[in-house]
Amino acid sequence: MPTFIMLSSLTDEGANTITQNPERIKEVNAEVERLGVKVNTQYAVLGPYDFVSIVEAADVKTVMKVSASLASRGSIKIQTLAAIPIDEFIAGFK
């Protein structure tokens, strides 16, 4: 299954939500999985992003819908990147 990296930044509303209910993060992950995107690994990070999530989805369209759905709530801004395994990347030049 294709892998994607989701870089997430909380809005003020989102930061308030997780401050009041940190378990909300896991609730959202469960929602994401029900929509067809598997969360493989997730980190809270310091810097311009608040979270880095490594996810798998059947295709770009699926991860796009999840990303747009989460962003439409107004609590988070997401940048999604397609991740290409290095061997696959190298093979593309042969």
Domain of residue 64 covers 3-91
CB count within 10 Å of CB 10 equals 17
Rounded-to-integer distance, Cα 75 and Cα 26, Å: 15
- What 8-state DSSP symbol labels residue 87? H
Indicate the SS3 state at residue 56. Answer: strand
Sign of the Cα pseudo-torsion (72, 34, 38, 30, in order): positive
- Digit-coded pLDDT (tens) for 64-93: 999 999 999 999 999 999 999 999 999 999
Average pLDDT over residues 36-47: 97
- Digit-coded pLDDT (tens) for 12-33: 999 999 999 999 999 999 999 9
Rounded-to-integer distance, Cα 61 and Cα 30, Å: 19
Rounded-to-integer distance, Cα 7 and Cα 40, Å: 14
The enclosing domain of 50 has a CATH number of 3.30.70.920
Q: How many domains does the chain have?
A: 1
Q: Which amino acid is at 18?
A: I
Beta bridge partners of residue 83, listed in sequence order: 3
In which band, very low, low, confident or very high, does the pLDDT at 7 lie, cut at 50, 70 and 90?
very high
